[in-house]
Structure 1
Amino acid sequence: MRRALLALLAAALPAAAAAASLTPPAAWRPAVLDVAVPGGGAERALLLRPADPRGTLVMLPGGDGEVGIAPDGTMEHADNVVIRTAPLWLARGWALLIPDAAGNLRGSRASPDYGAAVAALVAEAERRVPGRVVVVGTSQGAIAATNGAARAPGVSALVLLEAVSRRGGSGETLFDADPGAVTAPVLVVANAADRCPVTPPEDADRVAGAFTGSRRVAVLRVDGAGPDGGSGRACGSLSPHGYRGIEREVVDRVAAWLGE
């Protein structure tokens, strides 16, 4: 039965990768949460969990951060790689906590307030799901992931997918988010085929070198163009920047680094 369920979850990836929206099946135990954050207000988030979770991945998408989580758990904008790979991570036994920005996050992810919001998400994951908490951020989300990991002692590892290392429209980079304050192990993932100007793969070593307080830092290099999904945008989710076509390889290799 468990093998059949895992096969069902993994098989959902192609549909999720191509769809603009995604409604989590009941097998994912979706729960829509409003997580209280310091300073007042709440961060809307979706918790997905397998029957026997090994821990939680707090998944921070890029772009403007708006996922569009409906009351039934449907995500209106599901193209981002941290959402597209949900079936693969759930099949491996990881619960996922995916936040939804109330407004455009560009330019605010390195702020103390948003770092505190990410730390609140980590604390919520610790409270609701047994096991360790890993923060995963992609592109602009890598800025938020770094900021939160610098402020949340409960983070067991930080995974950065195509981290923003050069200034673009948001005016922020990962280096503004106090990477030297992160003590958890860090994995920097870079795709050699990425052509987004703010996340050049050749900056991976420079990004890794900024985590001077971490007890373990590694760089994982992949190389896959895959289909671009018709996006035609170098920084789009359905392009090499978003690991389109090599999602399973990336998940497998990150999972190996996490010590599964």
Structure 2
Amino acid sequence: MTFKASIRIGVFAALLALSASSVVRAESSSGEKAAERIVELPLSSGQHQRVLYVAPASPRATIVMLPGGTGDVGLARDGDIRHGHNFVIRTRDLWVAKGYAVVIPDWIDRESLRGARSSPDYAKIIGDLIAYAHAQYSVPVFLLGTSQGSIAAANGAAHAGPGSLAGVILTESVSVLGGSHETVYDAGLADIRVPALIVANRDDRCDVAPPDAAPKIAAAMIHAPEARVVEVSGGIDRSKKACGSLSPHGYYGIEDKVVGIISSWIDGHIGSTGAR
């Protein structure tokens, strides 16, 4: 990590000591006590980002998880989550049980993130989230995005400072233009220089996230040291739309399998890139 990045993280740590509240949760399935914190994260833009932070006692890595849709998680100051169906939100305890800390951002000022996730301004926000993650524990940091959130994850990875990021995971990535008028291809895939995992569900019927696009996404990462594609199958459809969270697009019913695959990949990259 560069000296400049270290200074930045130190500033965030001082500010966050004044801006976090804690909500104690039950034990995770691993038996560890996990505490959820709702954080008002000061951004380099002068705005504030409300963030959910969950961690086991001694995390092995931190995953910044970027949900899809409009980005509206509905984080309340008291720890209530109004919109918790998205894959990265409803599986947070599974990640903690495997030894990872989790950072999940809400939208900002109630503004939809559709169409904004591939922008330079949003890349800076992802950079602030990475800096926050490093300020909590000195462990490798990974980005994970799902659906529209994969655009944000790719954008963040493309702009990540040297040594700040250990890898990026894209799941059910939006690769066909739809209502948001942006895709993962707009996020600078060629500029990603960290290992990447692309997960695609063969049973995903979301029209803007076709599973057969996964190899093309990987091929566009021409500077990534690794761009691995993993296919899964299955899932239960409880959503009204094919792109809904409670569907194969959101890995509903196969969460354990998908978390296990991603976890194995992350474990293979902890400490292998020099990211701290």
TM-score by length of 1: 0.88
Question: Structure 2 vs 1, CA of residues 74 and 27 (structure 1 numbering), >3 Å: closer, same or farther?
Answer: farther
C-alpha displacement of 1:185: 0.3
Equivalent residue, structure 2, for 1:155: 165
Equivalent residue, structure 1, for 2:68: 62
Q: How many residues align?
A: 239
Equivalent residue, structure 2, for 1:192: 202
Equivalent residue, structure 1, for 2:273: none
Structure 2: runs of 5+ lacking an equivalent: 1-25, 269-276
C-alpha displacement of 1:30: 1.2
Extract structure 1 runs of 4+ deviating beyond 6 A. Answer: none
Alpha-carbon distance between aligned partners in 2 of 1:190 and 1:38, rounded to the nearest angstrom: 34
Please give the per-residue CA displacement for 1:59-101, whole angstroms capped at 9, x wherever unaligned.
0000000101111222110000001111110100101000000
The aligned amino acid for 1:43 is: Q
Equivalent residue, structure 1, for 2:80: 74
Equivalent residue, structure 1, for 2:19: none
Query: What SS does the corresponding residue of 2:168 show, helix, strand or coil?
Result: strand
Alpha-carbon distance between aligned partners in 1 of 2:212 and 2:205, rounded to the nearest angstrom: 11
Alpha-carbon distance between aligned partners in 1 of 2:230 and 2:106, rounded to the nearest angstrom: 27
**Residue number among 199, 215, 231 corresponding to 1:221 in the alignment:** 231
The aligned amino acid for 2:140 is: R
Alpha-carbon distance between aligned partners in 2 of 1:176 and 1:258, rounded to the nearest angstrom: 25
Structure 1: runs of 5+ lacking an equivalent: 10-25
C-alpha displacement of 1:38: 2.7
C-alpha displacement of 1:36: 2.1
Equivalent residue, structure 1, for 2:152: 144
TM-score by length of 2: 0.83
Pairwise CA RMSD: 1.6
- Is the Cα contact below 8 Å between 1:53 and 1:130 reproduced in 2? no
1:224-243 equivalent positions in 2, closer than 5 A: 224=234, 226-229=235-238, 231-243=239-251
**Residue number among 21, 29, 33 corresponding to 1:7 in the alignment:** 29
Equivalent residue, structure 2, for 1:19: none
Identity, % of aligned positions: 45
Query: What SS does the corresponding residue of 2:103 show, helix, strand or coil?
Result: strand
